[in-house]
Amino acid sequence: MDWLFSIVRIAGSAFPYASIFLQMQAEIDNKRLSDRIRKFEDPIGHMHDDIPRVIDEIYNNLKTTDKQTLSFDKAFYDEFRRPLAMLESQGFIKGNHSISVPFYAGLELIDPSFILYMAALLENQINMQNFIKIVDSCEPGKLLNGTDLASEHYLPKTVVKAVFKVYQSKNLGITSKETTVLHYVGRA
């Protein structure tokens, strides 16, 4: 089809239907450009066609269990083995594998930015915005109780912990290392 558009561009108005083909080419070019921009804006979602469905399943499981290590049925792992492998290769998740059974003990969410990526897509944006505002305005030395904040903003504690870790990675605060306590202290 590209050859036809090349000829039409060269011949121009010499053919009576050239404008139709030029309009078609413009529409195709616009779609290609839009697809390229979407891939740039959302590189994770475009890694594989099934990634959006996988992310939806993972985040729904996260909201239900509120754990970083998630378990799914065998059908999930069979259906989404390729996108899961791609997410794992990028360091977003870590599968608990054995030689004969991939994900035999579930998968672990290991990248806080991936957790926040899923929350950006699937969480209540007003709740997230209000929570982020509190963390962002946390003064040096002030203690935030993540469990209380999670409850107040209807967010999974795993998401709250991911936000704390991202802020800590920027040296803006310190996150508690204990597994039973979820605290954050502002630094800057």
Determine the pLDDT at residue 104.
Answer: 83
The three-class DSSP label of residue 174 is: strand
CB 71 within 8 A of CB 106: yes
pTM of the model: 0.77
Rounded distance, CA 17 to CA 27, Å? 16
CB 153 within 8 A of CB 188: no
Residue 48, burial from CB neighbour count under 10 angstroms (0-12, 13-18, 19+): middle
Closest CA to 155 of 120, 111, 186, 180: 120
Give the count of beta carbons closer than 10 Å to the beta carbon of residue 56: 13
How high does pLDDT run on average in the chain? 84
Residue 12 has pLDDT above 70, yes or no: no
What average pLDDT does range 53-66 have in this prediction?
A: 96
For the stretch 85-124, pLDDT in tens is 999 999 999 998 878 778 888 999 999 999 999 999 999 9
Domains contained in the chain, CATH given: 2-41 (no CATH), 51-111 (no CATH), 123-186 (1.10.10.10)
For helices 157-169 and 112-122, angle between their N-to-C axes, nearest 10 degrees: 130
